[in-house]
Chains A and B, each alone.
Chain A
């Protein structure tokens, strides 16, 4: 054996530069585009064999400067930006933003509008959790559950389509209420969903909850204590999985959530399995809320049953036929479209329970047509920082499952 051959690193078959110390760990790029990241973000992992030594997350690949764009748009045009934050539960973002505006402008919404909003928000919570939970299944090797529940997400998207005309980026709702009332078809589709989904959810649960392979893969993976989770700014199901019963819907009720009877499911260890269980139970609670809201909406009779927006002519577009025939409506229409309505000066923080945590809007208005400053508190941007701590020392395969269990949405993280 000659000298030349000996200077080769035998395992890697690479000729190292003279005097270099052989590296004991491997650097691995997880992402930015990788099937297991479910979004565009990168993790530079240092792995020792199969064990993760450290991780360096990089975000910002799809940053679109929403906060800057919002400084030039009238309030009703910002709703479309919020669609693109957490696109798995776009209606919650829309509603959150609209309610922030309503809080600033002092618009009171009728009860029926609140209940309709609750229905839409809880439907989108279900679609969000269904995706996240089934993706945990996919990443631990069970693809069929994911395909199985997609059918029911489709039913929800059809309801959105009836209410607002679009499916994924919904732009649902207006300041004051909805663009139009729920049609009869929308109610029929909701009934169909309420009748069919529980059986599918039960089957989904049966496929994973006590599945030996799934339990072995997820129990004990990526646990976080309640103290650490709070310190890391966890909110939503990820925080509740650690045993803290913080839910914006209960703590600071908005959109009449105080009228509904539901439980906050919590976990104990905050591992992947607990996060899965919490989300799963939340879907059942959401179904419960939707049923209650549906019953409450049915109780409105006569003229009350036709209410789908608040009386706020300064902010809510008048019916088109009145715009063509009445001068007052024409003026309001013009003012709203051109952004010439009176906007109060002030600052307001409003938050809603989004699909993956507390989605907050910090809005500063200087009286102009566009916000002076708008900041989105994006839950997954804040809790994604904990990822290196969560995966340190775990297996590479677990790192992938932990990533999907956090319900990270790249659109929301990068804003």
Chain B
């Protein structure tokens, strides 16, 4: 019988070409980085269990899960608002896998493992907002979309979870995007087209920003 190897592969494995893209006569205005190998769990409160979920989340993560469109981080986890009484748990290294979390939330929430269902793309740099402005109708000005702001929205007709992370060491903003794997390549190419005029530095990383 054939032996089926189950390898974890990025949905952007073919589309992502490491290096420079677009305008070459300028310093790259945008860094596009795919983050690989993360754990992502969707947590949704069961009917009437919203308050119970909030308590369980606080006990599990040591911080309140966001009940407004925000992303909050502790040392080993980021909780991203995705709708009323629901959030995403983003982590690395098997610390908050579905097996572990289903025990913590067994009384209050329904969980769904999205680790291999989404691609995580980090957009940063001086021109990141200018590029995203071509694709998104959200106001991403720092006054309106501060660090830690999150949104469930559509970009290029594709549903995404978008949130602003901590600024880069050079002070430039970082926008993180979670997109369904089957739409990731399409969105990636759209972003490359939008970003080309600013010069793009493309890469991938195993580390969460």
**Chains A and B are bound partners:** no
